[in-house]
Amino acid sequence: MPFFRGETTLQALTQSPPPSWDEIAAMCWIKRIDCLDMIEDLDEDAAQKPTVLPPNVTKAMKVLKKELDTLRDKLSDEILNTIDPTILSKLPLPSSLVNSKLPKETKQKLNEINRDTQMSWWERTDKFHRFIESLPEDQSKLI
């Protein structure tokens, strides 16, 4: 795995082919790096200097984003209970909610619940679902 050889995140992501999800997960765990911060940094770099980053970095970012969604589905109850809530709070809302036609205020409230670091994963999930259930019928149909 390249991450154990002392390469920087950018060096590791720009290798061809991009790293596997197992390598990315290992890097995030070992180096205590938040994948989303890394993606945001690379997105900002790409927006500011589009010609600086090689095409496979963009591909790697897309892979990371897709795999982070997959990770959410794979995590077991045991793992979820051991993860620091501040890390979980940085996971984005599911794209189905972000792209829905819900009012902006509703999306903001869902995002606030999602980002609350004072609650465990299960407390946050429960609050999230209770809020969705409390929405007026016309909004709940949009989810």
Check whether residue 52 and residue 98 sit in a common domain: no
Q: What's the pLDDT band for 79 if we cut at 50, 70, 90?
A: low
Instruction: State the sign of the Cα–Cα–Cα–Cα dihedral 30, 31, 33, 39.
Output: negative
Mean pLDDT of all residues in 22-26? 62
Taking 70 as the threshold, does the pLDDT of residue 131 lie above it?
A: yes
108/127 same-domain check: yes
Of the residues 74, 101, 123, the one at which a domain ends: 74
Domain span including residue 136: 83-143
**In terms of pTM, does the model score above 0.85?**
no
Do 63 and 21 reside in the same domain of the chain?
yes
Do 96 and 134 belong to one domain?
yes
Distance CA 3, CA 22 (A): 11
Residues 22 and 67 placed together within one structural domain of the fold: yes
Q: Where is pLDDT greater, at 49 or 63?
A: 63
Asked whether residue 90 falls in the same domain as residue 46, the answer is no
Do 6 and 69 share a domain, yes or no?
A: yes
Are 63 and 3 within one domain? yes
For range 64-70, the mean pLDDT: 68
> Quick one: 40 and 98 in the same domain?
no
Contact by Cβ (8 Å): 4, 23? no
Q: Which of 25, 42, 74 is the last residue of a domain?
A: 74
Question: Confidence band (pLDDT; 50, 70, 90) for 27?
Answer: low
Determine the average pLDDT of the residues in 82-106. Answer: 70
Residues 1 and 69 occupy one common structural domain: yes
Residue 51 pLDDT level (bands cut at 50, 70, 90):
very low
The single residue listed with the structure tokens 């409230």 is 109
Both 66 and 96 in one domain: the answer is no
Q: Domain boundary at 26, 55, 74, which?
A: 74
One domain for residues 122 and 95: yes
Mean pLDDT (whole number) for 78-97 = 63
* Domains contained in the chain, number: 2
